[in-house]
Amino acid sequence: MIIEQMHKMGVRSEHAYTAAFTSIGLSVVSWFGSLKAERGTGLDRADRWGIFVGEWAPTFFGLGLALSHYEQQDGTLSATVHDLREQRQAG
């Protein structure tokens, strides 16, 4: 299973979620960059670059969800916000 192999390689759900949000940011950056760097090509080319990079985000979110589900079953899921609050209050 791909998710299990990714987990064994050290990829965690947090990594996939970070990649997804980074992809969203890079989509905006690539759109602006293409729009300014290639003025003669027009808005269409900038839109294509932005959409191309932006399409990665759902894949990374999906991988994040699958990894999170695997981590819950495996028992390696990172502490939840609730757990962290309880630890802070106790310590």
| Cα dist from 46 to 32, 59, 81, whole Å | 7, 22, 39
Decide: 70 and 7 in contact? Cβ < 8 Å.
Answer: yes
Decide: 17 and 54 in contact? Cβ < 8 Å.
Answer: no
Mean pLDDT for back-to-back runs of 10 residues, the chain (91 residues): 92 95 91 76 76 90 94 72 70 68
pLDDT score at 78? 62
The model's pTM: 0.72
Neighbours of 63 (CB within 10 A): 20
Task: Compute φ and ψ for 52, nearest 5 degrees.
Answer: -55, -50
pLDDT score at 50? 82
